[in-house]
């Protein structure tokens, strides 16, 4: 889930940025500090959107910079348990695939792809189902459900697990097939409604 979050901090404006507009200098400092960071309470901090800077700063003895209170908005993404997310496969491994969901990658373990025996071919970048013949490859887009979330403080990597073993989840073409089958069944006399 994506959010626009308002935060408050004190930023140090170094002397090298004294000729720059205060707001721009503060935003650049905030970007360096916060963007691509993981916070256990906020999730992934994707980008700084805007900032309001107190013009009256403070100086500290022995430091040439000025310190300013800043209230700023950031675009964040906090993955929630059971949330349905779209993604794209970016890597195939022996044990599954890594799927890009927003600003990070989630693990789709082989056991969570479908109810079929699967074979992973890392060199070809493909996962193949024995019975159905369905495939997933690098670049495939899919819908999945988040089943595990672990976000550590001040790191650049969290751990997210996803599944496609539920109705209307999986590769986009599989979902389209399921939707078509369910709408045909509902249209037939005596079909499920």
What string of DSSP letters covers 19-59? TS-HHHHHHHHHHHHHTTEEETTTEEEEEEEEEEE-SS-EE
pLDDT tens profile 22-66: 999 999 999 999 998 888 888 999 999 999 999 998 998 889 899
- What pTM was estimated for this model as a whole? 0.79
The CATH 3.30.1490.120 domain(s) of the chain lie at 2-77
What is the CATH class of 2-77? alpha beta
pLDDT tens profile 57-85: 899 888 989 999 999 999 999 999 999 99
The CATH 2.40.50.140 domain(s) of the chain lie at 84-186
What is the CATH class of 84-186? mainly beta
Report the alpha-carbon distance of residue 166 to residue 87 in Å, rounded: 16
């Amino acid at each position: 889930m994506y959010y626009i979050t308002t935060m408050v901090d004190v930023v140090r404006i170094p002397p090298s940025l004294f000729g720059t507009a205060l707001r721009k200098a503060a935003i650049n400092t905030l970007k360096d500090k916060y963007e691509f960071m993981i916070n256990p309470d906020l999730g992934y901090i994707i980008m700084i959107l805007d900032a309001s800077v107190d013009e009256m700063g403070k100086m500290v003895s022995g430091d040439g910079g000025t310190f300013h209170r800043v209230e700023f908005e950031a675009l964040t993404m906090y993955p929630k348990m059971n949330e349905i997310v779209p993604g794209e496969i970016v890597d195939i491994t022996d044990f599954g695939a890594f799927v890009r969901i927003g600003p990070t990658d989630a693990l789709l373990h082989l056991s969570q792809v479908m109810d079929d025996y699967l074979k992973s071919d890392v060199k070809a970048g493909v996962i193949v189902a024995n019975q159905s013949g369905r495939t997933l490859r690098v670049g495939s887009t899919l819908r999945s459900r988040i089943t595990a979330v672990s976000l550590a403080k001040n790191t650049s990597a969290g751990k997210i697990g996803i599944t496609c073993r539920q109705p209307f989840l999986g590769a986009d073409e599989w979902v389209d097939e399921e939707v078509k089958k369910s709408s045909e069944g509902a249209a037939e006399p005596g079909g499920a409604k």
